[in-house]
Amino acid sequence: MKTEEYMKGKTLVISGATRGIGKAILYRFAEFGVNIAFTYNKNEEEAKKITDDVSVKYNIKAKYYPLNVLEPEQYIDLFKQIDEDFDRVDFFISNAIIYGRSVVGGFAPFMRLKQKGLNNIYTATVLAFVVGAQEATKRMKEVGGGAIISLSSTGNLVYMPNYAGHGNSKSAVETMVKYAATELGEFGIRVNAVSGGPIDTDALRAFPDYDEVKAKVEKQSPLRKMGNPEDLAGAAFFLCDKTQSGWLTGQTIVIDGGTTFQ
């Protein structure tokens, strides 16, 4: 079967697709006729704009829903709403990330790490993945399988200032991915992670040392450029496309412009 045929009419559920990497992934799937249920946190206006745009451009069904990944149980009601709006769930991508006030004590040098900030990052990264993936799995079983992805980052492979909280939660979610993959394979569900090096998005621009990170990455990467959201969207799409990656599960694909070997 060809990719186009396999993808058309399926449904992707993705968190945090108003901007950055999530938005790029959303467009990548929409182009192939995949219906989209996606979440926003604050940017409802942008969510509406995206919905209108992809519905018209690609003739698909798209709907947006509020979600706060600091309260992962919200996924339970969210999926109930999705059940009413969509006839199936085939792919789930845990992408949303927190920043600002909620990461105080989590996004910090080691000696300033605090329980609350670290717990918040763990909740948003690992617990949100777990609850979202559990709800998605119940629906995927009904349609004979599917694919689940967590976004990760190479801040768990190489040192990044202030990134200890995020880096160790990304390690944790990559391990959770392997456990989920091992237990869900029998239902035809594949589970993987897409790990990115520094990608030019709002999340990275919020780093106090953004300019230094950018300059360093451009120097470090053999490709002499920083990554952009589309650089990760292709891998997420590939991992959901059973015609291309049908025996690929429990893995992390690293897309880092060659930076982690430098």
Active site residues: 163, 170
Closest residue to ligand NAP, Cβ-based?
A: 20
17 within 8 A of 38, measured Cβ to Cβ: yes
Q: CA 79, CA 37: separation in Å to the nearest integer?
A: 10
Total interface residues for ligand NAP by CB under 6 A: 29
Span interacting with ligand NAP, options 25-33, 36-44, 82-90, 175-183, rule CB under 6 A: 36-44
Nearer to ligand NAP, 97 or 177 (CB): 97
Query: Which pair of structure tokens corresponds to residue 84?
Result: 């009413």
- Edge to edge, what strands does the sheet with 252-255 contain? 62-66, 35-40, 11-14, 91-94, 146-153, 189-196, 252-255
- Counting Cβ atoms within 10 Å, is residue 212 exposed (0-12), middle (13-18) or buried (19+)? exposed
CA dihedral 29, 15, 168, 159 (to 10 degrees): 60
E strands, 9-135, in order: 11-14, 35-40, 62-66, 91-94
Least separation in angstroms between CB 93 and ligand NAP: 9
Least separation in angstroms between CB 179 and ligand NAP: 19
Q: Which of residues 49-108 bind ligand NAP (CB under 6 A)?
A: 67-70, 95-98
Which x/- pattern, by CB under 6 A, does the window 5-24 give for ligand NAP?
Answer: ----------xxxxxxxx--
Least separation in angstroms between CB 72 and ligand NAP: 10
Q: CA 122, CA 67: separation in Å to the nearest integer?
A: 16
Query: Is 41 one of the binding residues for ligand NAP (CB under 6 A)?
Result: yes
Q: Which of residues 140-199 bind ligand NAP (CB under 6 A)?
A: 151, 153, 196, 198-199
Q: Which residues contact residue 84 at a Cβ distance below 8 angstroms, ignoring those fewer than 6 apart?
A: none
Span interacting with ligand NAP, options 37-45, 85-93, 106-114, 242-250, rule CB under 6 A: 37-45
In the complex, the residues that contact ligand NAP under the rule CB under 6 A are 15-22, 40-43, 67-70, 95-98, 151, 153, 196, 198-199, 201-204
